[in-house]
Amino acid sequence: MPTPARLRLAPSLLSADFAALGDAVHAAEAGGADALHLDVMDGHFVPNLSFGPSLVAAVRSRTRLPLDVHLMIEEPQRYLEAFRNAGGDTLVFHLEARGEPAETVRAIHRLGARAGAAIRPDTPLDRAAPLLPELDQLLVMSVHPGFSGQKFLPEVLPKVEEGRRKLDAIGTGGYVSIDGGITPDTAVAAARAGATFFVCGNSVFAGGPVAGNLARLRSAVERGAADAVR
Ligand code: DX5
Ligand code: ZN
């Protein structure tokens, strides 16, 4: 079945084997991924450290898929240009990080990238509301950021519903992205709530062939979207 135009699966490379990253990128692309999600962590905004622009550039050299760079860093504005130059297509910053969010969005657009804003599970959607007309992606975190393989927090689903309603009303076609603990089961619930972009780490890379994992996620999001009540 063809993918409905607005549903996207983005495997998160944080869950891949870093010693064989090129293979993971290739498997995701061959398995039907729509984008790749790259989790940047600075040890301040979140307790974990991951990687910087040089790894994004290395991934860029191996794939034509859009690269979404999720900046879990304290000072996103300082690094936007570096991640854009490394090949990031969408730069997603956190509203809880430093800097004036509207200015961060403008800086991302000036670099010719798409802009995403992420909110932690305990951040209300109201914080993002004024930005929605300018955003290409609203990313609702469904785990506390910092680590892959955590359990999905269903209490964020009302924010997905509200975000979807607001974006539909504005009519920009921006994605509502969900990130954290997405499995075939939780993907159904997220799609039903109106998510259109699904970040999947462990459910893609932590066991079994990547293509089969992606196929199961694909059918789950299509099922959920089919009975989404809008
Ligand atoms: C968590 C990251 C997520 C994570 C997703 O801080 O933002 O992108 O890697 O991994 P899973 O799907 O395993 O929760
Ligand atoms: Zn992420």
For the chain, 230 residues long, give each residue's pLDDT as a single digit of tens. Answer: 333 346 999 999 999 999 999 999 999 999 999 999 999 999 999 999 999 999 999 999 999 999 999 999 999 999 999 999 999 999 999 999 999 999 999 999 999 999 999 999 999 999 999 999 999 999 999 999 999 999 999 999 999 999 999 999 999 999 999 999 999 999 999 999 999 999 999 999 999 999 999 999 999 999 999 988 66
Among 39, 42, 68, 136, the active-site one is 39
- Other CB atoms within 10 Å distance of the CB of residue 49: 12
Q: Which atom of ligand 1 is nearest to the CA of 70?
A: 7
Amino acid at 110: R
Q: Is 150 in the pocket of ligand 1 (CB under 6 A)?
A: yes
Q: State if residue 47 touches ligand 1 by the CB under 6 angstroms criterion.
A: no
* 79, 73 Cβ separation under 8 angstroms: yes
Q: Which atom of ligand 1 is nearest to the CA of 150?
A: 14
Supply the pLDDT for residue 2: 36
Note the pTM of the prediction, 2 decimals. 0.96
Q: What is the CATH number of domain 8-228?
A: 3.20.20.70
Residues near ligand 2 ion, CB 5 Å cutoff: 39, 70, 179
Q: State the pLDDT at residue 227.
A: 86
What is the structure's pLDDT at 229? 61
Between the CA of 89 and the centroid of ligand 2 the distance, in Å, is 15
122 is catalytic: no
The residue from 23, 89, 179, 185 that is catalytic is: 179
- Please name which of 137, 5, 144 lies closest in space to residue 68, comparing C-alpha atoms: 137
Please give the pLDDT value at position 200: 98
